[in-house]
Structure formats: structure tokens, C-alpha cells
Amino acid sequence: MTIRLGIHPSVGRIFPPSLLQSMLSDAEATVDLTNERLDASESFNGLVTFGYDPSFLDAGLDWIHVVRAGYDEFPLDTLRDHEITLSNSTGIHGDAVSEAVVGYLLQFARGLHRYRLHEPDHEWNPPAWDDTFTLDGESVCVVGLGTLGRGIARRADALGMSVSGVRRTPTPVDHVETRYGPQELLDAVSDVRFVVVAVPLTDRTEEMVGAEALSAMRDDAYLVNVARGPVVDQSALVDALRSASIAGAALDVFEEEPLPPESPLWEMEHVVITPHAAAATEDYPNRIAALVRENSRRLAAGESLANRVV
Ligand code: NAD
């Protein structure tokens, strides 16, 4: 099978589509940039994309590759009906996102986020004796133990933290001392200093961290969300932060992105906001190119695709 691969302009939300095109010059495919809307007359049978457009359905595609791990905006049943295979980019974000999570944890423990606030006023602002702590000896619960969760658990363990996790199956995971099932979430989050959310957005995980889970957390605990915004009930989170029923939050993802300027989260001292940037790394295009190159080869050879979702 000859592969004619298109690169959709939405890829440009992460890196230049033309960069990926040149990196794929050795792939078993001809590679061209596409328009926003696809047209069947262009005869692409594969597409690399960040976002979804309904024109993908009737363009004669056999395969769509999403350049990120989350694929919650893609209509899986409809793709199945149109016999379009979907693959995603899970497996390549572990290092970047886990290092970002270590950064969030260290900021809160060592109070680093606060000093930055005083720099514009050239203000020397030492911490109170009880404002800071060390990660060594602290505890973290990682909700979701896939690529991200395992990378976070490994790093937290290396920092001397006690690591627990929430996962659907009870099998052991390296670097995780205690495991809970999703029904035990409230127990899992109730006695840890940090809760890190790393599950995909699905019907079951939407608002998984809501008012109940937030109120089960300790008042000196921090929430970190690197998954998807709707996994956390954002208005319940704002309430929990306002009432100081938790100590703070680091958020890379939001119910609405970009986070609107009027969101109260922007004003909160103990909230660290990053613009869906935890996975960003200069090596990202290389990692995507390797996945696409391998799946182009497999498609041409009639083999089943890696990271297949549908
Ligand atoms: P993954 O598929 O490797 O792992 C997801 C894990 O969550 C799996 O182990 C799965 O069994 C588990 N899970 C699913 N439902 C669960 C539930 N109800 N309770 C407990 N565990 C559950 O995916 P990943 O690469 O680790 O990424 C996870 C999610 O993080 C992605 O779907 C994406 O939405 C998000 N993500 C965000 C960024 C970012 O830039 N912030 C980057 C990569 C991924």
C-alpha cells in the first residue's frame, strides 16, 4: 500500500508542521501539508493532526495520528463507523511531564513560587520558619499510573517520598508502595501532602476530583493536575482554595483553555498556572516523527498500528 500522508495545520499549535514534514522525508510515505478542511480529491490516506475537523470523515482516510496523548475530542464511534484507524502519541510524554511535576512539587515544598512574586518589587522576602518543607519524607498519591503516572512515581520515589497510587487493576507498579482502586479515591487522597492527577479524560474520570475528594484532602495538601481540565471540578477547586481547605494547586490544564483572564485562579498566591505546557520539550517533534514513521511502515505493510485507539 502506498501511503500519502498529510500534516494538518493544527499540528502548528505545538511545532511547525513543515518541521515534521522534513523529519519524515525518510518515511515510507509521501508527506504533504494539508488545508484546515480535507478534501477527498487530495487522496490522503493518512493524516497527522493535533485537532479534529468533521471533514476528516469523508476524505478517504484510513488512518489518523494525533500528536498528543489525549484524544477526548475525537468521535471514536463515528471514526469506527467510517473505518478510520486512530492512533495517539501516548508513551512519549513521561519524561517531560514528570519533570514538570517534580518542578511543581519542589516549588511548593521550597516556597520558590513565592519569591518570584516579590522580584518585580525588588523585595527581600524570607520565609517564616514554618513556610517551607522538604519533599524527602513527604507523601504523594498519583491518580492514574500509565506513562505519566509511572514517570512521576519513579521520580517521587527517588526524592525520598512515599508514593501511593490509584489504578483500575490491582497489579503492583514499580515505585508505588500502596495502590487503591478508583472507588477508593477518597481514602487514597485523604492523608497525603500531594495528589497528582494523571488519568485520561473519559466518562468515568470527568470531575473525578470533585468537592468530595477535595474535602477529603488534608488542609496542608496540594493538588497537581497534568491530565485534562474536566477531570477536576474547577469551581469546587476554586471553593477549596478560597476556604483554604487545601493548601494550593499546580494546574497545567483547565476546563477552558486558554484559562480566561477573569478566572479567580490567576489571583491566587498558592496556585501555579502553566499554559498546558508540561509536555513541551524541544525533542517533541523528533518523538512524534518516530511514532509516525513506524506507523507509516506498519500501515504500508498491513500490520496493526502502535498506540491504536480505534
Ligand atoms: P496512558 O494511557 O499511558 O495512561 C493513563 C492511565 O490512566 C492508564 O494506566 C489507565 O489505566 C489509567 N486510568 C484510566 N481511567 C482510570 C481511572 N478511572 N482511575 C484510575 N486510573 C485510570 O496515558 P498517559 O500518557 O499517562 O497520559 C494520561 C493523560 O494525561 C492523557 O490521556 C492526557 O489527557 C493527559 N496528558 C497531558 C499532557 C499535558 O501536556 N499536560 C501530556 C500528556 C498527557
**Is residue 65 among the annotated active site residues?**
no
Q: Is residue 191 part of a domain?
A: yes
Q: In this structure, are 99 and 239 located in the same domain?
A: yes
In a domain, 206, yes or no: yes
Atom of ligand 1 nearest to the CA of 204: 18
- If you average pLDDT over residues 111-132, what whole number do you get? 95
Q: CATH number of the domain that 36 lies in?
A: 3.40.50.720
Q: What is the mean pLDDT of residues 19-47?
A: 94
Identify the pLDDT of residue 28: 85
Residue 248 identity (one-letter amino acid) = G
Residue with the nearest Cα to atom 9 of ligand 1?
Answer: 146
Q: Which residue has the least CA distance to atom 5 on ligand 1?
A: 146
Task: State what percent of residues in the chain have pLDDT above 90.
Answer: 97
161/224 same-domain check: yes
Cα 153 from Cα 280, distance rounded (Å): 20
Predicted pLDDT at 109: 98
230-235 mean pLDDT: 98
Q: How far is CA 112 from the centre of its chain?
A: 23
Shared domain for 16 and 130, answered yes or no, is no
Whether the per-residue pLDDT at 2 is higher than 90: the answer is no
Residues 229, 289 share a domain: no
pLDDT for res 250 = 98
Residue 307 covered by a domain: no
Q: What is the mean pLDDT of residues 99-108?
A: 98
Interface predicted TM-score of the whole assembly (ipTM), two decimals? 0.99
Q: Is residue 185 part of a domain?
A: yes
Same domain, 118 and 23: no
Considering 257, 269, 303, 308, which one is annotated as catalytic? 257
Shared domain for 113 and 68, answered yes or no, is no
SS (HEC) of the chain: CCCEEEECHHHHHCCCHHHHHHHHHHCCCEEEECCCCCCHHHCCCEEEECCCCHHHCCCCCCEEEECCCCCCCCCHHHHHHCCCEEECCCCCCHHHHHHHHHHHHHHHHHCHHHHHHHHHHCCCCCCCCCCCCCCCCCEEEEECCCHHHHHHHHHHHHCCCEEEEECCCCCCCCCCCEEECHHHHHHHHHCCCEEEECCCCCCCCCCCECHHHHHHCCCCCEEEECCCHHHECHHHHHHHHHCCCCCEEEECCCCCCCCCCCCHHHHCCCEEECCCCCCCCCCHHHHHHHHHHHHHHHHHHCCCCCCECC
- 55 and 198 both lie in a single domain: no
Q: What is the pLDDT of residue 159?
A: 98
Residue 310: inside a domain, yes or no? no
> Does the pLDDT of residue 181 top 90, yes or no?
yes
Q: pTM score > 0.80 for this model?
A: yes
Residue closest by Cα to atom 18 of ligand 1:
205
Residues 103 and 250 in one domain: yes
Q: Are residues 78 and 133 in the same domain?
A: no
Instruction: Tell which one of 87, 147, 164 to mutate to probe ligand 1, the residue whose CB is within 8 A of the most ligand atoms.
Output: 147
Residue 263 and residue 128 share a domain: yes
For residues 274-288, average pLDDT: 96
Q: Number of folded domains in the chain?
A: 2
Q: For residue 140, is pLDDT > 90?
A: yes
Q: Is residue 228 part of a domain?
A: yes
Looking at the fold, whether 169 and 105 belong to one and the same domain comes out as yes
- 141 & 259 share domain: yes
Question: Does residue 245 surpass a pLDDT of 90?
Answer: yes
Is 276 in the active site? Answer: yes
Over residues 35-58, mean pLDDT: 95
Report the 10 Å Cβ neighbour count for 29: 24
- What's the order of all strands across the beta sheet hosting 46-49? 30-33, 4-7, 46-49, 63-66, 85-87
Is 294 in the active site? Answer: no
pLDDT digits (tens, 9 = 90+) for 30-43: 999 999 999 989 89
For residue 223, pLDDT beyond 90? yes
Q: Is the pLDDT of residue 1 over 90?
A: no
Q: Classify residue 268: in a domain, yes or no.
A: yes
The answer to whether residue 63 is domain-embedded is yes
Domain that holds residue 296: 4-90+282-301
What pLDDT band is residue 128 in, cutting at 50, 70 and 90?
very high
